[in-house]
């Protein structure tokens, strides 16, 4: 099983801030990585796939980068609707695994 580790686990930020979340894989997953946004009581929402491809309909302030074992999700200017928990997920193997999540809170 490939382990995914996100940092930080929690962060406080203000509207307009640039936010960066890191995800590390326990072994190389090439670019087989996705990012999701999850709000309480809602279904998770796909943001990024293939490490850097923006899902249709997702605002361009979201971007992803990285390959191999190190990846980042960046929100260029945090908006009120962006306060949520973010998860990375690898799909290099059929046993898909998620990071533990990064909760973005209001400062």
Partner 1 sequence: EVQLLESGGGLVQPGGSLRLSCAASGFTFNNFAMSWVRQAPGKGLEWVSAISGRGSTPYYADFLTGRFTISRDNSMNTLYLQMNSLRAEDTAIYYCVKDHKSLQYFDSWGQGTLVTVSS
| Distance of alpha carbon 70 from alpha carbon 72, whole angstroms | 7
> Where would I find the beta strands (DSSP E) of the chain?
4-7, 10-13, 19-25, 33-38, 45-49, 53-54, 62-67, 70-75, 85-90, 97-98, 102-106
CB of residue 57 to partner 1, shortest distance in Å: 11
CB of residue 95 to partner 1, shortest distance in Å: 6
CB of residue 92 to partner 1, shortest distance in Å: 10
* DSSP state for residue 29 in the 8-state scheme: -
**Considering beta carbons, is residue 72 or 92 the nearer one to partner 1?**
92
- Residues lying near partner 1 in the complex (CB under 8 A): 1, 32, 34, 36, 38, 42-46, 49, 55, 87, 89, 91, 94-101
| Distance of alpha carbon 1 from alpha carbon 106, whole angstroms | 34
């Amino acid at each position: 099983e490939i382990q995914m580790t996100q940092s930080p686990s929690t962060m406080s930020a203000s509207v307009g801030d640039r936010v960066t979340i890191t995800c590390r894989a326990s072994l190389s997953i090439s670019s087989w990585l996705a990012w999701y946004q999850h709000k309480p009581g809602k279904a998770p929402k796909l943001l990024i796939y293939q490490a850097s491809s923006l899902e249709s309909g997702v605002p361009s302030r979201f971007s992803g980068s990285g390959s191999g074992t190190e990846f980042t999700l960046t929100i260029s200017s945090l908006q009120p609707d962006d306060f949520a928990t973010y998860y990375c997920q690898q799909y290099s193997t059929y046993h898909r695994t998620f990071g533990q999540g990064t909760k973005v809170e209001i400062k």
